[in-house]
Each structure stands twice: as C-alpha cells, then as structure tokens.
Amino acid sequence: MASCGNSNTDHSLGVPTPNDAFNLMKSNFFDELWKLYPAWASSQGYHYNDSLFAIADADFRQREAEFVKNWQHKLWQFKPEELSPADRTDWLMLDNQLKATLFYANEYKGYEWDPSSYNVGSTFGEMINGTYAPLNERMKYILQRLAFVPAYYENARKQIKNPTLEHTDLAISQNRGSAGLFGKDLQDSVAKTNLSSADKKLFNERIAAAAAAINGYADWLEKEVKPGLTKDGVKSFRLGKDLFEKKFDFEIQSHYTAAEIYDIAIKHKKELHGEMYKLTTQLWPKYLAKETMPKDTLSAIRKMIDKLSDKHSKREDFQKDIEAQIPALAKFVKDKNLLYLDPSKPLEVRKEPDYMAGVAGASISAPGPYDKDGKTFYNVGSLAAYTPERAESYLREYNHYILQILNIHEAIPGHYAQLVYSNQSPSLVKSILGNGAMVEGWAVYTERMMIESGYGANEPEMWLMYYKWNLRATCNTILDVGIHCNNLSEADALDLMTRQAFQQEAEAKGKWRRATLTQVQLCSYFTGYTEIYEFRNILKQKQGDKFDLKAFHEKFLSYGSAPVKYVRELMEKEME
C-alpha cells in the first residue's frame, strides 16, 4: 500500500498499524464520495463517473445523510492521537467535512434560496474544453451526462422556495451564459467525432434539450420568480449572524470566531492608518513639498498614495516586468535564508491562455490531485485589450510597489512555494479539502515577512504601499462580517473601501457585489494571516535566540494545506 512519507508504518512487524488502516479508509472514502458527487469528481480530475450527474432532490439528500452517517461511523473508529501527524490532520479535516455536509443540507440550505447554485456550465465547459482525454472519449461521456440536464433543471424549480433577489439575478445571467455552450460550436464538434450516426442524432437532440432546459430555467426565474422579489418579507442576501458564524467555523476552522476576527480587523485597520500617516508625514517633503498637507489624515494618506502610484510599468512592459521579478524574488528568499526553494521545480511563467483572457494581473494554475503529470504555471495577463484609460488605471493600481507584493503573494514565497511544499506530503484530503484560510493566510503572511526581511530595502514608499495592500485584506473581513452579521449598509461599505481603504470606486463596487453574493471566503485572507503571524511571534518569544525563521517556515509548510490551528497544535506538541 502506498502511504504518505510521514506515515509511521512499521512494515518489519508485518502487522497493519492504525495508519495503514486509516490510509485504506481514506482511499475508499474518496471512491464513495465521487459516486455521490460525480460533477465535483470531474472538476478534480477524477473522470471515472463522467457519465453520471447528481440531481439534488430529497432522495439525494437522504443518500447524502446516509453517506455522512456511514463515514462518521468509520472515521470515529480511529483515534486521531494514534495516527501520524499527517494523518491526524487528515482525520480532523474529514471529520469537519462530514459535519459541514450536514450543516449545508439541514441549516444553510442554499438549494432553497440560491438559484445560482443550479448551473451546469462549469461541468460541461470543462468536459468540452478539457485536455484530459481525446475529443472522442470526452464526447461519449458528454452525451451520457447531457441526458440528465432537463431533469436537473426541473428539480431546481421544485427546490427553490425563498430565493434572494441578488442570487436570482446572478442565476439568470450565469445560466444564460452557460446556455451558450450548447450551440453551434458543440454541434460542430459532434460532427467531427467518430460516434455512430444514430449517436450523433441523439447527441444533437440532447444538446437542443439541454439548451431549452437552461433557457427555460432562466426565463422562469426572470418572468415568474423575480417579479415577486420586490415586496417586503423577501429573503435578504444577508446570511445572518448565526449561520455566518457556523459557516465561518466549518470553512475557516480557526481558533477565532467570526466576531473575534472582526474585532481584530477593526483594531488592525486603526493601527494601519496610524502607520500610514506616519509614513505620509515622512514622505511629504520628498514628493509634495509644494502642497500643504491636508488636515484630515485619511485625505493626506490618499494624496501620497496617488503620488506614489505614478511609478508604474509601461503598458507594453507589464508582462516582461512581472517575469523579471520572479528570479529576483527567488534570489532574495535564498540570500536571506527564508525558505528552501526546490531548484528542480522552477516556476514556469506563461502568457495567460485565451480562455482565461480578460483577467489581467497574475495567477497560479496548478494541476488537480489526480493529474500526476500536470504542470504548474504562473499566468501573466496582457493589457492588450484594455482602453488607454483602463490600462492606466490598472497600471496605477498595480504600480511599481504593489506589483512586487502581488508577485510575492502569488508566486514566491507565496502560493507557488506553498504548493511545492504541500505536494511533498501528498494527501488527497488536503488537496481536495485543503483549507483556504491556510493557503491565503500563508500568501498574505509572506508579503509582510518579505518586507520585514528587507525586500524593497525598507523604503518608506514600499511600506506605505504594503500597508495599503494589507488594508484591503483587513477590510475584506470587516466587509464580510459587517454585511452578513451587522447589517452594514452599501453606503457605509463603499465608504469603508474608498475613503478608509483608498480603493477605486469601481473596485469597491465590484467588491460590494461579491460580498453580497458570497459569505466567509472574504475572511480567509485576514484570518489565516493573523493566525500565522501571531503563532510565529509566540514561538519567537518562547524560543528567543534559538528561533530560526527558515526552519519555522519549512516546518509550518510541511503539514500541507491544513487549518492553521491544527498545524499550530502539532508544532507545539512536537516542541514540548
């Protein structure tokens, strides 16, 4: 049996250890999970159930509840303290996942109030555009999966009981977008396959039926559901404190509650403003000597940020400038002894592929857990399609300073470096159920760690821009908790983002919309960052002269994408 590198299996005894049995259980768990959720399976690169598609009706939820009961029974036969550290965190994450499944089914109930939770676009989009198998192979499964689409949308109409206006609008526009997949392009692809002519005919019938079902659903929402959503008593997009707190606990798995992290964010915002004002005062004579500094501290800071934003890449050099920073970051990490970076796994920078076009900036594309030969890429966007005004505004936002912080976050030593480490302790649990707050928290943590270690030569300009960037993550939390738990109004939210966090109006409006349609995810950045930074400082105090930053980072990352609180517990235990 293949087991993790950290497993303490002792084969010399010939007796299966708890870790052996646990590993077998984990692999059975995923086989069963993928039968229950075949579309989720496909999205993770597991294609054995591609002919199936789940219809989330009462019967499905019954099976889901039985699945949870069955696997809780199996999981709870293991004692986490008897497992290796890697398996122990897997145990805790599986336990959380099973409990969360019941929470979403019985309390959160998005299937009743979020019409956008019904959308076949991504699953078919991935199958149609996928490169995991030849076209003929993929088409066979698309044909089979298509048969479920009419029943899927029929069930959606039955499940929706008290939708919010915002999620209804989202569902209409997203499903109309998905309908575009079932048109002439797909028919042309069908013609190119080696399917029999009877199957081709069936295929075209199913494409037409799928398109009719999606458009029918969008029409129904638009004409019959939406008109009823303007009167009083309609469900609000605000999740409410009780459900938000629970969702926060399941998703973030922090030792803080949502209310606690909100208070920390409010306090942190105040501290950031204080530091930013100090730097603004210091920089004023250098940049704005001829102007009087505004009395209002936030106005003064904004003026300085605007001034510093003049320093940015030329539009045509944007990609080249990003590419040039990657080796510089790697060299800094090495020279300062911050983290070992495996030289055999260099980051491949590429121009972002066409299907991602439109999202300028940079992002990481990593292969799924079942894609062993897949490569990791750093996608760098092009500004070619932007109008001159939009490009200028974008380049000012991702100016000389912020662009470097973005590269720290996305690439080195942020997401990319974390990914390389997490791939060294392979765990399906952590790659599929990986903790977003740990992953984002690490990337946000490295921004500060790099600047503190002297990246940017301790220039006050770099620090000021770093604080502005950090203020964004901080305000994401204030916004998220504020909107869903504290009834934060749109006007106050926009004031928070533009006046207090120095964001552009367009960015703030987009964020408001995102925050009304999602819950908890926006808290992940600040919560993870806060927990990692705090843990490091406690450790530093405890260990004094013996504290080694590089060793801390490598040990921390060795547990994979597990919640920070579990990593912390394990590290503390090992150091006792």
- Complex with Zn ion: residue 87 or 410, whichever CB lies closer: 410
Determine the Cα–Cα distance for residues 465 and 565; give it in Å rounded to an integer. 30
- Complex with Zn ion: residue 249 or 440, whichever CB lies closer: 440
Coil, helix or strand at residue 79: coil
Give the interface segment with Zn ion, choosing from 133-141, 212-220, 442-450, 507-515 (CB under 5 A): 442-450
Least Å from the CB of residue 415 to Zn ion: 6
Give the interface segment with Zn ion, choosing from 52-60, 168-176, 354-362, 432-440 (CB under 5 A): 432-440
Residue 443 as a binder of Zn ion (CB under 5 A): the answer is yes
Least Å from the CB of residue 440 to Zn ion: 5
Least Å from the CB of residue 130 to Zn ion: 25
- Complex with Zn ion: residue 281 or 376, whichever CB lies closer: 376
Determine the Cα–Cα distance for residues 142 and 51; give it in Å rounded to an integer. 7
- Complex with Zn ion: residue 105 or 532, whichever CB lies closer: 532
Give the interface segment with Zn ion, choosing from 169-177, 437-445, 504-512, 565-573 (CB under 5 A): 437-445
Q: Report the 10 Å Cβ neighbour count for 274.
A: 11
- Complex with Zn ion: residue 338 or 443, whichever CB lies closer: 443
Give the interface segment with Zn ion, choosing from 46-54, 315-323, 368-376, 436-444 (CB under 5 A): 436-444
Residue 362 as a binder of Zn ion (CB under 5 A): the answer is no
Least Å from the CB of residue 389 to Zn ion: 11
Least Å from the CB of residue 312 to Zn ion: 6
- Complex with Zn ion: residue 123 or 474, whichever CB lies closer: 474
CA atoms within 13 A on the CB side of 185: 7
Q: Which two tokens stand for residue 120?
A: 């076949």
Residue 403 as a binder of Zn ion (CB under 5 A): the answer is no
Least Å from the CB of residue 43 to Zn ion: 19
Shortest-Cβ-distance residue relative to Zn ion: 443
CA atoms within 13 A on the CB side of 158: 10
Determine the Cα–Cα distance for residues 215 and 428; give it in Å rounded to an integer. 37
Long-range contacts formed by 237-241: CB under 8 A, 24+ apart = 237/164, 237/165, 237/166, 237/167, 237/516, 237/517, 238/483, 238/484, 238/485, 238/487, 239/484, 239/485, 239/519, 240/484, 240/485, 241/484, 241/485
Site size with Zn ion, rule: CB under 5 A: 2
Least Å from the CB of residue 407 to Zn ion: 12
Count of helix runs (H) and strand runs (E) in the chain: 26, 3
Let me know: does 66 contact 1? Beta carbons within 8 Å.
Answer: no
Give the interface segment with Zn ion, choosing from 111-119, 153-161, 434-442, 465-473 (CB under 5 A): 434-442
Pairing of strands 377-380, 362-365: antiparallel
CA atoms within 13 A on the CB side of 87: 26
Determine the Cα–Cα distance for residues 406 and 449; give it in Å rounded to an integer. 14
Determine the Cα–Cα distance for residues 466 and 409; give it in Å rounded to an integer. 12
Chain residues that interact with Zn ion, rule: CB under 5 A = 440, 443
